[in-house]
Copies of this chain bind each other. A is one copy, B any other.
Amino acid sequence: MDLKGLYPEKRLQDSSIGQQVVADLRMRILSRDLENGSTLSENKLSEEYNVSRSPIRDALKVLENEGLVQLKRMGAKVVGITEKDIDEINDVRLMMESFVFKHLLEEESNDALIRELTKIVEMMKIAFKYKDADEISFKDVEFHETIIKSIHHRYISILWSNVKPVVECFILLDMRHRMEENYEDFHRVIHNHELLIQSIQKKDKKLVEEAFYLNFRDVKKGSDGLWDDPVSLKKASEYRGKQ
């Protein structure tokens, strides 16, 4: 099988071919390696990846669910994402996390959650120290996932599982981009997460919303223009760290 390798391969260790193809295609779409509006053919893809049509079919179905392709009568049309879509994803992330926080207020203690989040941020710092953009990304996603899952609300978890792959993918590209262009940004990224922990701990509704808002706004600012700039995107997608 011939993946483009934009997605960290160690994360695909025990995955089926189908899942590997999904991860690869997703990265290719978000990084514009596959042009928006172009049409993917199951046959051509299966040739390109040197696998049969079965895993390709599976992959395209998953991508359709995520809104990255449209399965038409003939071929899968690449939809991809623009700057506006990133804003919209963050819209719904903010919506979901606000929802979660409302539920967090009803719990008697958040100690376990706080502890877990603190651990993740500490690991983010290590990843930052070693300039490992990918690891920072995964920890970032894990941070937010941990918050969401903490309220054990089945349907908010299902919603999250449907946006998570795209979020993960765009954070990966975003962080790689920052690592090259806005290195100092990471201090703020980490600071924002610490702020979030504090405000959750204080159960201060206003503070939390501010922290959420700050986080998503900084995310936007740091990568401004990235998603409509094919050159930066290509660079980011091919970034492999400095070590």
Task: Please measure, in the bound complex, the distance between the C-alpha atom of A157 and the C-alpha atom of B61, giving whole angstroms.
Answer: 17
Q: Least Cβ distance of A196 to chain B in Å?
A: 20
Contact of A67 among B65, B67, B85, B154 (CB under 8 A): B154
Report which of B67, B159, B163 forms a contact with A92, defined as CB distance below 8 A. B159
Q: Which single member of B66, B88, B99, B157 contacts A153 (CB below 8 Å)?
A: B88
Q: Is the CB of B163 within 8 A of A159?
A: yes
Q: Smallest CB–CB gap between A42 and chain B, Å?
A: 14
Residues A71-93 near B (CB distance < 8 A): 85, 88-89, 91-92
With a cutoff of 8 Å between Cβ atoms, the chain B residues found around residue A96 in the complex are 95
Pull 20 A–B residue pairs with CB atoms less than 8 Å apart, ordered by A: A61-B61, A65-B161, A65-B162, A67-B155, A67-B157, A88-B153, A88-B155, A91-B99, A91-B153, A91-B156, A92-B99, A92-B155, A92-B159, A95-B95, A95-B99, A158-B162, A158-B163, A159-B159, A159-B163, A162-B162
